[in-house]
């Protein structure tokens, strides 16, 4: 299967980024990293070239989960933590759609954390974007699953006494075929990563360190991130080397690596293609609908 299997349709230059921007005004605070993320999504989708109505964009609950409404795709702003199972249901029912799922670190790694390993091992051809800001912004600044140990918040007044989840290591350990990290400060890089994730034929994951301007660490905002980031490509990282990728991912809390950590050079058959095959193989066994239950003989 070619790496471009998801987008066999129009020529890439049919759409411009603005074609994916809706008229809805974002509720995000000025300076929020998510503005950059949605712009990167517009660019990536324009490069992919699928028309907006063939895209289903699913999210959970949180600031970042508002993102589908800011696109011209079919959006589904669901309930907290359930973007992935809903996205999988959509992809299974309509495999021809381009399916994107998105949400925050709380949505994906706390309340919805139980769904991530299963989405990965099932391997439907969907792309999951997590806007990781290490805080609960919408509920006004509580501790999140990716908050660093010691973080003081209204729900951890004396400093967090638990270790954070490492999203990169987590998805790599579960066997995701495509794992990347980007930042909105590097718009070009992020748009390319999202595009590459969408083109990957299977479950793909992009962790986007998208800072919270209101409740996040003031020293970890868009500009500071840009200065801190280290491009994996510049480090000479080979994205087909999964063990090395896990090594680099271990530095999640200390280093800000951007780029592709891991990309399976031999993507396995996806769940959705198995379904298609089973439907084709089993169709001849279909009985007339008025004879579904056999007579006792």
Question: Beta strand pairing status for 126-132 and 230-231?
Answer: unpaired
Which one, 227 or 295, has the nearer CB to another protein? 295
DSSP 8-class letter at 71: B
Q: Which of 49, 52, 113, 175 contacts another protein by CB under 8 A?
A: 52
- Chain mean position to CA 89: 16
Q: Which of 3, 16, 24, 233 contacts another protein by CB under 8 A?
A: 24
Closest CA to 217 of 107, 131, 135: 135
Which one, 98 or 183, has the nearer CB to another protein? 98
DSSP 8-class letter at 243: H
Which one, 94 or 240, has the nearer CB to another protein? 94
3-state secondary structure of 102: strand
Stretch that binds another protein, among 114-122, 129-137, 152-160, 227-235 (CB under 8 A): 114-122
Question: Beta strand pairing status for 74-77 and 126-132?
Answer: unpaired
Let me know: does 152 contact 159? Beta carbons within 8 Å. Answer: yes
DSSP state string for 255-282 = --EEEEEEE-SSPPPPHHHHHHHHHHHH
Which one, 130 or 248, has the nearer CB to another protein? 130
Q: Which of 39, 64, 88, 133 contacts another protein by CB under 8 A?
A: 88
Q: Which of 3, 16, 235, 278 contacts another protein by CB under 8 A?
A: 278
115 binds another protein (CB under 8 A): yes
296 binds another protein (CB under 8 A): yes
Stretch that binds another protein, among 135-143, 174-182, 235-243, 284-292 (CB under 8 A): 284-292
Q: Which of 30, 93, 158, 161 contacts another protein by CB under 8 A?
A: 93
Closest CA to 263 of 187, 195, 208, 216: 195
Q: Which helix (H) or strand (E) holds 55?
A: strand 55-59
96 binds another protein (CB under 8 A): yes
Let me know: does 46 contact 194? Beta carbons within 8 Å. Answer: no
Closest CA to 60 of 86, 37, 84, 78: 78
Supply 106's token pair. Answer: 């709380």
Minimum distance from residue 19 beta carbon to another protein (Å): 12
243 binds another protein (CB under 8 A): no
Minimum distance from residue 182 beta carbon to another protein (Å): 25
Let me know: does 36 contact 190? Beta carbons within 8 Å. Answer: yes
Mark 192-231 with x for binding to another protein (rule: CB under 8 A) and - for no binding.
----------------------------------------
Let me know: does 98 contact 50? Beta carbons within 8 Å. Answer: yes
Q: Which of 62, 69, 103, 184 contacts another protein by CB under 8 A?
A: 69
Residues at the site binding another protein, with contacts judged by CB under 8 A: 24, 51-56, 58, 61, 66, 68-69, 72-79, 82, 84-90, 92-94, 96-97, 114-115, 117-118, 275, 278-279, 282-283, 285-287, 289-290, 292-297
């Amino acid at each position: 299967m070619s790496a471009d299997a998801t987008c066999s349709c129009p020529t890439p230059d049919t759409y411009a980024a603005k074609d994916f921007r809706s008229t809805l005004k974002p509720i995000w605070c000025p300076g929020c990293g998510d503005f950059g993320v949605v712009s990167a999504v517009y660019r990536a989708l324009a490069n992919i070239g699928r028309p907006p109505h063939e895209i289903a964009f699913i999210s959970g609950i949180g600031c970042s989960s508002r993102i589908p409404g800011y696109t011209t795709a079919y959006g589904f702003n669901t309930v907290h933590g359930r973007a992935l199972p809903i996205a999988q249901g959509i992809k299974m029912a309509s495999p021809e759609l381009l399916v994107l799922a998105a949400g925050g670190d709380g949505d994906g790694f706390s309340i919805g954390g139980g769904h991530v390993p299963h989405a990965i091992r099932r391997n439907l051809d969907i792309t999951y974007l997590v806007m990781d800001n290490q805080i609960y912004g919408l509920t006004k600044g509580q501790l999140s699953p990716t908050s660093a140990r010691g973080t003081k918040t209204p729900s951890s007044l004396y400093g967090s006494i638990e270790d954070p989840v490492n999203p990169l290591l987590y998805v790599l350990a579960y066997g995701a075929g495509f794992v990347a990290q980007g930042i909105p400060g590097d718009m070009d890089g992020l748009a390319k990563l999202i595009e590459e994730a969408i083109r990957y034929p299977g479950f793909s994951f992009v962790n986007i360190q998208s800072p919270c301007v209101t409740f996040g660490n003031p020293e970890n905002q868009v500009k500071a991130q840009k200065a801190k980031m280290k491009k994996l490509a510049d480090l000479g990282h080979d994205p087909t080397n999964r063990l090395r990728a896990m090594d680099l991912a271990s530095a999640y809390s200390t280093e800000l690596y951007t780029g592709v950590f891991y990309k399976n050079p031999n993507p396995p058959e996806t769940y959705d293609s198995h379904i298609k095959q089973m439907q084709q193989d089993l169709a001849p066994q279909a009985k007339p609908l008025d004879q579904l239950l056999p007579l006792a003989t």
